A and B are shown apart, each in its own frame.
Chain A
Amino acid sequence: ETGVTQTPRHLVMGMTNKKSLKCEQHLGHNAMYWYKQSAKKPLELMFVYNFKEQTENNSVPSRFSPECPNSSHLFLHLHTLQPEDSALYLCASSPTRDGANEKLFFGSGTQLSVL
Chain B
Amino acid sequence: AQTVTQSQPEMSVQEAETVTLSCTYDTSESNYYLFWYKQPPSRQMILVIRQEAYKQQNATENRFSVNFQKAAKSFSLKISDSQLGDTAMYFCAFIIQGAQKLVFGQGTRLTINP
Query: Which A residues have a C-beta under 8 Å from some C-beta of B?
Result: 2, 31, 40-43, 45, 48, 55-56, 58, 88, 90, 92, 97-101, 103-104, 106-109, 111
Contacts and interface: CB of A to CB of B under 8 A. Distances in A.
B43 A56 contact: no
Interface string B1-12: 000100000000
Given A42-B103, A45-B102, A109 B32 contact: no
Given A107-B44, A108-B43, A100 B106 contact: no
Interface of B: 4, 32-33, 42-47, 50, 91, 93, 95-107
Given A43-B91, A48-B101, A100-B97, 19 more contacts: A2-B44, A40-B106, A42-B4, A42-B106, A42-B107, A45-B100, A55-B100, A56-B101, A88-B43, A90-B43, A99-B100, A100-B32, A100-B99, A103-B50, A106-B46, A108-B42, A108-B44, A109-B43, A109-B44
Contacts of B33: 100-101
A41 B106 contact: yes
Contacts, number: 59
Nearest to A43: B104
Nearest to B96: A100
Given A107-B44, A108-B42, A108-B43, A99 B99 contact: yes
A111 B44 CA distance: 12
28 contacts: A42-B106, A42-B107, A43-B91, A43-B93, A43-B102, A48-B101, A56-B101, A88-B43, A90-B43, A92-B45, A97-B100, A99-B95, A99-B101, A99-B102, A100-B32, A100-B33, A100-B96, A100-B99, A101-B33, A103-B47, A103-B50, A104-B47, A106-B44, A107-B44, A108-B42, A108-B44, A109-B43, A109-B44
Contacts of A88: 43
B102 A104 contact: yes
